[in-house]
C-alpha cells in the first residue's frame, strides 16, 4: 500500500468528506512540503544567478498552484455549507458567506 495514502489530512472536516476533498487536501499538503523544500533549495543556490532565477520561478509557480488548490478546496467546502445555511439564522449565514479581502481579512 502507498504510504502517502495513510497520511491524514490537516483539515478535520476532510476526515468525513468526499474523496475529492481528501485528494485536494493531500495535494495541498504535498505542495506545502515541496514549497518548503524549494525555499531551502533557493537559499542553497543563491550564489549561482541562473540556477537561483530558475529556482525562484519554480517556487512562484508552486505557490500559485497552492493558492489555486486552496481556492478550489474553499469552493468545495462552500458548496457543502450551502445546504447548512438554509437551516441557519440569517445573521449566521451572512457571516459564513463573507469572502476575504485582497489582504486576506474577512
- d(C-alpha 97, C-alpha 102), whole Å: 16
Task: Estimate to the nearest angstrom the gap between the alpha carbon of 60 and the chain centroid.
Answer: 15
Q: Is residue 2 in some structural domain?
A: no
Each residue's pLDDT tens digit, 71-88: 999 998 887 666 555 544
- Assess if residue 40 is contained within a domain: yes
Look at residue 103 and tell me if it is in a domain. Answer: no
- Comparing 77 with 53, the larger pLDDT belongs to 53
Block residue for cell numbers 506545502:
32
In a domain, 66, yes or no: yes
Residue 25 pLDDT greater than 90, yes or no: yes
What is the predicted pLDDT for the residue at 15? 54
- The answer to whether residue 1 sits within a structural domain is no
Higher pLDDT, 1 or 49: 49
Number of domains the chain is built from: 1
Domain that holds residue 35: 14-96
Amino acid at each position: 500500500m502507498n504510504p502517502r495514502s495513510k497520511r491524514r489530512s490537516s483539515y478535520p472536516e476532510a476526515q468525513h468528506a468526499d474523496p475529492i476533498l481528501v485528494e485536494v487536501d493531500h495535494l495541498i499538503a504535498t505542495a506545502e512540503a515541496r514549497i518548503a523544500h524549494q525555499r531551502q533549495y533557493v537559499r542553497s543556490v543563491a550564489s549561482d544567478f541562473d540556477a537561483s532565477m530558475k529556482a525562484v520561478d519554480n517556487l512562484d509557480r508552486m505557490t500559485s498552484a497552492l493558492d489555486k488548490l486552496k481556492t478550489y478546496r474553499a469552493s468545495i467546502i462552500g458548496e457543502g455549507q450551502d445546504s447548512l445555511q438554509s437551516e441557519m439564522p440569517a445573521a449566521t449565514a451572512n457571516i459564513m458567506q463573507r469572502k476575504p479581502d485582497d489582504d486576506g481579512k474577512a
